[in-house]
Amino acid sequence: MNFYWADSGAGRRGRILFSDEKWFDVERAHNRQNDRVRLKGKPPLEEKMTTRRQIPKQVMVWTGITYTGKTPLIFVDEGVKVQGPQCCAILENKVSPGAPRYFRDEMRT
């Protein structure tokens, strides 16, 4: 019975798209221990001061993978949450045009 189930899914594995999204910080985190300067005198005040935002800039990257390949990286604007409607828009506008390439064996059936 298990062999039948495993064998019956073999033809459908090419029609699956796994997707994921990840937030990345764009601004570098400041760590004073990593930015050391050896000087004979005191450094100017401007060198000691660092500016940072309360909430660092971020970018979301969305991508997908199929049995035959991967989708290109899709960068999502800051502040946009990828939920149902946004995910459908990404699939329709970015992934659907490349569907013959991602699902080339499955498009014939």
Query: What is the rounded CA–CA span in Å between residue 96 and residue 9?
Result: 23
> Each residue of 18-50: pLDDT tens digit?
888 888 887 776 666 766 667 677 767 666 666
Cβ-Cβ contacts under 8 Å for 67 (sequence gap 6 or more): 13, 14, 16
Q: Is the pLDDT of residue 5 over 50?
A: no
Tens digits of residue pLDDT in 39-79 = 677 767 666 666 666 777 788 888 888 877 888 888 887 77
DSSP 86: H
pLDDT at 30: 66
pLDDT reported for residue 109: 46
